[in-house]
Amino acid sequence: MAEKGVKVFGMWASPMVVRVEWALRLKGVEYEYVDEDLANKSADLLRYNPVTKKVPVLVHDGKPIAESTIIVEYIDEAWKGEYPIMPADPYDRAQARFWARYADEKCNPALFPIFTATGEAQRKVVHEAQQCLKTLETALEGKKFFGGDDVGYLDIVLGWYAHWLPVIEEVTGASVVTDEALPLMKAWFDRFLAVDVVKAALPDKDKLLAANKARREQLLSA
C-alpha cells in the first residue's frame, strides 16, 4: 500500500528544520515529526536522503525532498490553494530567491565564526557579520515583513535569526543585532516572533541556550 501523509525528519535544535515546519504550519498541513540523533542517524533518514544524509527531509506520500529552501518552495507549490508563501510576481520571486541565497551563502558563513571567536577576533567577525546582515536588511526597507504585509518565503528563510541569534549572543557575549547596528532587522525580529505559527514551532529557548553553551565549551576546549 502506498505510503500516505507528511513526515518531517529533523533535529530539535536545527534552524533549517524549523523553516520546513513554519511552511507546513502556514499551509495548515498536518505532519509527523521524527527527531533524529545526528550522531546516530536512522535507517529511514539514510534511505530518504542518501546523497547528503542531512536534515531536514520532507517525505510526502512516500516521496522524499531534501534541502530546507527547496522543501519550502515545494510546500508552497504542492499546497498551492493554501496560504501563499512565494510572491505572486516572477520578479518578486526572483528577488526572494536572490536574498535567500545571499543569506545562506554569505551571511551564514559570516555568522558561524562568532560562535567560537573571542576578544579582538570576535569584534572583527561580528563586524563582518553585521555588514552582511545590513545588506540583507535592505530587502526589508519600509515593509512589515520581508514578504510585505504578511510572512512570506524570505521571512521563513531568515526567521531563524530571530530566535537563534539572541541565543548565540548570550552564549558568546557578542552583540550582533542591536538597535544601533541593525534597527530594521531588530524590529522585524519582534514582529516575526509574535506570529502564532512561528511561536508554535520554536525549540525551547532555555534548552537551546544550554545546548549551545555546552557545544561552545566543547569546541573551545578542543
Partner 1 sequence: MSSSQQPAQAPAPVRLITAFGSPFAHRVEVALALKGVPYELVVEDLASKSELLLAHNPVHRSVPVLLHGGRAVCESLVIVEYVDEAFHHGAAPRILPTDPYDRATARFWAQFIADKCLKPLWLSMWTDGEAQARFARETKESLAVLDAQLDGKRFFGGDALGFVDLAACTLAHWLDVLEEVAGKRLVGDGEYPALRRWAKEYTSDETVRRFLPDRDELVAFFAANKERYTSMVRAAVQRQ
* Contacts with partner 1, residue ranges (CB under 8 A): 51-52, 60, 63, 65-67, 70-71, 73-74, 77-78, 90-91, 93-95, 97-98, 101-102, 135
The smaller minimum CB distance to partner 1, of residues 124 and 143, is found at 124
Nearest distance in Å: CB 168, partner 1: 20
Shortest CB 77 distance to partner 1, Å: 4
Closest approach, Cβ 187 to partner 1, in A, equals 22
* Cβ proximity to partner 1, 147 vs 203, nearer residue: 147
Taking residue 190's Cβ as centre, other Cβ atoms within 10 Å add up to: 9
Question: 33 or 74, CB closer to partner 1?
Answer: 74
Q: How far is the CB of 93 from partner 1 (least distance, A)?
A: 7
- In terms of CB distance, is 1 or 91 closer to partner 1? 91
Long-range contacts of 125-131 (CB under 8 A, 24+ apart): 126/174, 126/175, 126/176, 129/176, 130/176, 130/181, 130/182
Identify residue 33 by its one-letter amino acid code: Y
Alpha-helical segments (H) within the chain? 15-27, 43-48, 68-78, 90-102, 108-111, 119-137, 153-158, 160-172, 183-193, 196-201, 205-221
